[in-house]
Structure formats: C-alpha cells, structure tokens
Amino acid sequence: MTKVLLALIAALLLCAAAQAASLECIVPSKPGGAMDLTCKLAQKGLQGLRGTPKPPPSDMHISYLPGGIGAVAWHSLVSQRRAEPNTLVAFSGGSLLNLAQGKFGKAKSSDVRWVAALGADYGMIAVRADSPYKTLGELVAALKDHPEKVLIGVSGTIGSQDWLKMAMVVKTAGVDPKVLRFVALEGGGEAFTAMHANYVQVVSGDASEATLYAAGGNTRVLAILAEHRLPGVLANVPTAREQGIDVVWPIIRGVWMGPQVSDADYQHWVSNFDRVLASPQFAQMRAASGLFPFGLTGDALAAYVKKAVDDYGRRAAELGLVR
C-alpha cells in the first residue's frame, strides 16, 4: 500500500509540474478576431525560440475566455489565477479603453503585469463584397439619410473602440452617433460572421481582422483608419483621410500576466519577448498577420499603458462615457 501511495503521490507531483510548465495564452473573446490573432502571433514568435539556448518551457496552447469584452478574463486572472507563471492574456488598445472607462470595475492598469506589445494595428470599416456601398462616402450618406436601415456590428457596446471609430467617422459628416443602430458582439470574428450572414451590414473593426477575410473575396474594406495606406492584402484600400474623413485610429496589441507572478518569472517572459521582437523572422510573421512594427516590453510597456489609459480616460470623460 505504501508503494502504491508513493507512486500516486509521485504521479500527482509530475502532473502538477507538467501543468506548471504548460504555457497558455488566453484569448479574452471568441475565436477568429484580432485577440485570437495576437495569441497566435505570440505562439509563432515563441516557437521561433525553440532550439535556442534558453527556449520557452513548452509549446503554447491557446484557450478562449470571452465575456464582457475582456472583463471576464481580467477578473479571472486577477482574482483566481494571480501567480500563474506561464499564463499570458492578449490585450489591445480596446482593452485599455475599457479599463479607462471603468468597464473592468475598479481595476487599474497597475493591477496586472504588462509583458510585451507585439505590434500595432489600425481601425477599418468593412461591408460584404456584394454590399451596395462601394465607398466610405456612400456608406456615410446612407447612414445620414436612413440610419435605421443599416445595422453596424461592433465588438463591445457603447463606448467601445469599435463604437468610437464609427461614431467619429459619422460625426465628421454631421451625423449624431446616437441615431445609429449598433449590434454589440463578442470579438471581431463574431462581427464578421454576423456580417457574412447578413445579420449586420457593416463591421467597424480592425485591419488585422480584415486581412483574414478580405483575401477570401467575400469582404469589401471601405476604409483604413491610418495615416497612410497599409501594405499587403489591404494595399488597395484607401484611408478615411483620402476620402475626406479625417479619422485615424491606431491600436496596440500585446500580452499581460497575473499581478503576483514572481519577478523572476516575469523577467523571464520579458526577456523571451525581447528576443522574439528582435528576430527578423518575427517581423515577417507580424507583417503576415496584418500588424505593423511596435515593440515594447516590461517597464517601458507598463509606462506606455498607464499613459494610454489616462489619455483614454480623459477622452471618455469628455464624451460622458466614464462609469
């Protein structure tokens, strides 16, 4: 009996060790959107370190924890999984906007450990390939004349970054965003699925998401909310500025981890992502994912996030969106 008990204990210890070494990236939305893309990019980047002197502990697996546009994942890590050394969570500029507006409760940017920013993204406006709207101007005109006839799919509710993008676009044409019909969805993947099913007619989302669908021929991207046209799949898509609508919306994408992760484990992951970001192969992966160069890690990223949350908070307060 003693031998059996010892064997059982040994097996449990091995299982616990295996779980501790397991590397997870949590997508705080449903599959198919830009958060999903962020974890997959981190996964590919870390795989590129295999065979090097200090490889990651294991291959990363990706899990999905949607709900509250990131709030469920945030509270899960902060309240129940605070010290997991190998668990990362994807975030975006939209996460920081929600944090600034109080959509994560009383949470502050300092409540978690910011690991790495992997790249930058930009907002975009898309319709189905068979949509009657061929340009951003035609869509805005339709929203001005008959806003009740056009459903706009966004990730999140009033005040989310997708809502704000479209609100800013129509406001330049003298349209009150309050008359628009928005449909709140959980992530960009769900928004594009809803559009292709004709549940909504427009998606206000991100360029990286659009690259996943535009190449298939069933999506028409009307405008990119960037300073200049983007390379790659969306190279022929004009910016909103080119179409007379001066709206630019950049988006940061990266990963964070729990607040009680040890300094040694945290610095280990900061170091890993420093190596990832320095890799020429990762630059190619990032471009293939529709993202653009923007790399910060550790303390530098934490400082950037704090400033961004403060800036978003001021903007949201001006619009009466802060809880």
> How do residues 258-292 score in pLDDT, each as one tens digit?
999 999 999 999 999 999 999 999 999 998 888 88
Distance CA 35, CA 47 (A): 19
* pLDDT of 155: 84
CATH number for the domain including 173?
3.40.190.10
Q: Which range has the worst mean pLDDT, 61-75, 276-290, 308-322? A: 308-322
| Number of domains comprising the chain | 2
CATH number for the domain including 95?
3.40.190.150
Q: Which range has the worst mean pLDDT, 11-15, 57-61, 142-146, 163-167? A: 11-15
- Return the ∠ at Cα 292 (arms to 286 and 296), rounded to 5°: 90
Domain boundary among 189, 218, 243: 243
**Which residue has better confidence, 1 or 196?**
196
Of 276, 300, 279, which is closest to residue 38 (Cα–Cα)? 276
Domain boundary among 214, 243, 272: 243
Whether 230 and 271 share a structural domain:
no
147 with 179: CB under 8 angstroms? Answer: yes
* pLDDT of 14: 35
On average, the pLDDT of the chain sits at 87
Distance CA 7, CA 159 (A): 55
Is it the case that residue 195 has pLDDT exceeding 90?
Answer: yes
* pLDDT of 187: 78
> Model's pTM, two decimal places?
0.75
Of 254, 249, 205, 212, which is closest to residue 234 (Cα–Cα)? 212
> How do residues 16-59 score in pLDDT, each as one tens digit?
333 445 899 999 988 888 899 999 999 999 998 876 666 676 68
* pLDDT of 51: 66
| CA-CA-CA-CA dihedral for 81, 39, 207, 121, to nearest 10 | 70
**Which residue has better confidence, 71 or 19?**
71
Range of the domain at 99: 22-120+250-319
Is it the case that residue 73 has pLDDT exceeding 90?
Answer: yes
Whether 109 and 130 share a structural domain:
no
Domain boundary among 225, 243, 261: 243
137 within a domain of the structure (yes/no) = yes
> How do residues 74-86 score in pLDDT, each as one tens digit?
999 999 999 999 9
